[in-house]
């Protein structure tokens, strides 16, 4: 069995300790039942914390229903041969006529049914047919009880991943002197380097959903940077270097 007193090595926050113990319990349950078990949906910060725990290496993976999912469940498995009944992530769609719904509209209506946030994954607004992911245990309840979103009548049903709306991204190449956080942030969000450093020191910049106050932190391909009030970008690739030694970096932003 995995020890249960390791949490203080990683955090002093009581809520985070409780989360880590829950994941530890899932792994131990998988050992006892020799079957894969799943958490409820986790936000990116929770996932980042869990991913950094050495005691969990080799036992966990994440699933949000699609590649770029932000809210995902944690799958715990004692080993690769454990029985697995399949991911409990379900994709739903809501058809509403003559209205364009926002993320807030959909989430508010789900919360109005008494659904806990941990039962809901990503919400993908798509004009009058938003999609959202939910935990399988909540799917039937949502399907039969969610008849209005906002003030509009809605027809809610399960759907397949083939009906997932296309995720559109804008690609842009920036030119940076180095892969330091302040340099990449400045060029990505069209602000001065001194202003980027100020935002970073104030805690307004997160890397992979965790606040990063270190202006000299080295950024690599795959890292996601968010600036409060300005949005989020992903560093897609470092594509080359100029004659003067500056780096060409391709960034990706959802549109």
Please name the residues in contact with 198: beta carbons below 8 A apart, sequence gap of 6 or more.
Answer: none
∠ CA 15-109-85, nearest 5°, is 60
pLDDT at site 210 = 82
Scanning the chain, the segments in alpha helix (DSSP H) are: 14-33, 44-51, 103-112, 136-145, 181-188, 193-201
Per-residue tokens: 198: 């100020």
* Averaged pLDDT for residues 222-235: 92
Tell me the pTM. 0.80
Do the two domains 7-76 and 89-163 of this chain adopt the same fold?
A: no
Per-residue model confidence (pLDDT) at position 250: 96
pLDDT tens across 84-123, in order? 999 999 999 999 988 888 899 999 999 999 999 999 999 9
User: What are 6-27's pLDDT values in tens digits?
Assistant: 888 888 899 999 999 999 999 9
Return the CATH fold of 7-76. Answer: Ribosomal Protein S8; Chain: A, domain 1 (3.30.1370)
CATH number for the domain whose boundaries are 169-254: 3.10.290.10
pLDDT: which is higher, 69 or 255: 69
Dihedral sign from CA coordinates of 145, 151, 153, 154: negative
- 89-163 CATH: 3.30.70.330
Domain ranges of the chain: 7-76, 89-163, 169-254
């Amino acid at each position: 069995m995995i020890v249960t007193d390791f949490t203080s090595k990683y955090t002093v926050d009581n809520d985070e300790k409780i989360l880590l113990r829950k994941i530890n319990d899932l792994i131990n349950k998988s050992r006892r039942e020799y079957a894969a078990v799943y958490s409820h949906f986790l936000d990116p910060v929770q996932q980042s914390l869990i991913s950094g725990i050495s005691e969990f290496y080799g036992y966990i993976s994440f699933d949000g229903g699609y590649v770029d999912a932000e809210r995902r469940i944690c799958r715990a498995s004692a080993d690769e041969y454990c029985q697995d009944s399949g991911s409990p992530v379900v994709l739903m769609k809501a058809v509403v006529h003559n209205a364009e719904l926002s993320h807030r509209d959909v989430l508010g209506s789900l919360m109005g049914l008494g659904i806990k946030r941990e039962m809901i994954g990503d919400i993908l607004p798509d004009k009058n047919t938003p999609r959202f992911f939910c935990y399988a245990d909540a799917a039937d309840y949502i399907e039969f009880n969610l008849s209005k979103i906002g003030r509009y009548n809605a027809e809610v049903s399960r759907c397949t991943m083939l009906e997932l709306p296309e995720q559109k991204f804008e690609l842009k190449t920036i030119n940076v002197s180095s892969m330091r956080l302040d340099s990449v942030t400045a060029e990505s969000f069209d602000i001065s380097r001194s202003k980027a450093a100020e935002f970073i020191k104030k805690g307004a910049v997160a890397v992979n959903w965790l606040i990063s106050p270190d202006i000299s932190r080295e950024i690599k391909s795959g890292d996601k940077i968010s600036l409060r009030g300005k949005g989020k970008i992903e560093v897609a690739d470092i594509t080359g270097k100029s004659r003067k030694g500056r780096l060409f970096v391709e960034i990706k932003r959802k549109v």
